[in-house]
Chains A and B, each alone.
Chain A
Amino acid sequence: MDMTEFDDVPGADAPLDASDAALLARVAELDDRLDPVPDGLAERALFAMTLAGLETEVMELQVVEAPVGSVRSEAPVETRTITFTHERLTVMIALSVGSAAGTVRVDGWMAPAEVLQVELRRPDGTRATLSDADGRFVLDDVPRGPASLLVHQGETPVTTPVIEL
């Protein structure tokens, strides 16, 4: 880091004092307010760590269309579309309100289209379904919370990152 441009700044070599600490505290507080750590991120990370033990390849989350001004974990579920890509497979899912109260419906499409086993993994268990010949699948009444999809395709299953349903 080239900081030579600051060499003439008065006070540059002074040790950290109470006023430095207070200024740093303001920086931390401002960051927390303007760019807060998303709700549930640590829990999603813990679930991702659990899944990391499995022999899978992780897809990349590519596009998320969320209601304007919202972020994934804090948004009330309206309809969100998320695309995951992998060199062998693309999965698009649309999330909407489930038929049971407080649940989410997941409509998925896969390309290339084929009949594949799809699992939805949550910290409390796994649900499985099959895609149809057009690559479509539906998982209804999924409880809210962190989840990851796993698709059995090829020798190594492909998983999505953990998302907040």
Chain B
Amino acid sequence: MTRPAETSSLGDRAAEALVEYREGRSDALTDFVREATPILWRTVRSQGVPRETADDVVQQTWAALVRHADSISEPQATLKWLLVTARRAAWESVRKHRTDDMRRTGLPDDDAETTTTLPDAAPGPEAELLRNERDRTLWDALRELPARCQELLRLVSLADRPDYKAISAAIGMPVGSIGATRGRCLAKLRTVLTERGETSWT
């Protein structure tokens, strides 16, 4: 991810891009789309949306920003708006595909196990992409964490610290507890890694 200005955060750049777009200049928004698409991708994929569908959900989130450009009252809330919109669209997509699947197979709703299964966790054979045992251990350890812990760590790993606020609000976590929650998720991840025999975490 590129960070054009060390002093501004992703949230600041989102606000600038929106303001300029409203004034008829779209260059900043174009740059911002390129910069922030990865965090939207990660947000949508964290909800269990398959890759092909996630591609469309991310596109439609950006298209929605253009349609609602005039209705976002506080430009500083643009990043949060995008994350919330992407997340809701992802839920909607998961819900709809589940309904379609049920209709197709004619089976009654299954138990909780199927509803928590994340389809299509990786694009290809994982074994080939996990270069070594340490990667494998980390990947497995990550997936042992609660889903929202995984989501938080994935988003935080892509963000500048000032953006934690937008992220925490977007994923429905009290703003004041983001630091502690991130700390707990990291500590939990370390605990799992240690249990799996990794002694050096970095």
Chain B: interface residue total (CB-CB under 8 A): 62
Please determine whether B130 and A34 come into contact, CB atoms closer than 8 angstroms.
Answer: yes
Asked whether, in the complex, the Cβ of A41 is within 8 Å of the Cβ of B37, the reply is: yes
Instruction: Report the tally of A-B residue pairs with Cβ distances under 8 A.
Output: 150
Residues of A near B158 (CB, < 8 A) are 28
Contacting B at CB under 8 A, from A32-66, are 33-38, 41-42, 44-46, 48-49, 51-53, 58, 60-61, 64, 66
Q: How many residues of A contact B (CB 8 A)?
A: 50
- A30 and B58 in contact, given A6-B187, A22-B201 (Cβ under 8 angstroms): no
- Report chain B residues within 8 Å CB of A45: 33, 37, 58-59, 62-63
Q: Which of A3, A14, A34, A61 contacts B123 (CB 8 A)?
A: A34
The answer, yes or no, to whether A1 is at the interface (CB within 8 Å) is yes
Cα–Cα, bound, A13→B42 (Å) = 26
Inter-chain contact B173/A1, CB cutoff 8 Å? yes
Known: A1-B172, A37-B37, A52-B63. A27 touches B122 (CB 8 A): no
| B residues lining the A interface (CB < 8 Å) | 29-30, 33-34, 37-38, 41-42, 45, 51-53, 55-56, 58-60, 62-67, 121-126, 129-130, 135, 138-139, 142, 148-149, 152-154, 156-158, 161, 171-173, 179-191, 201-202
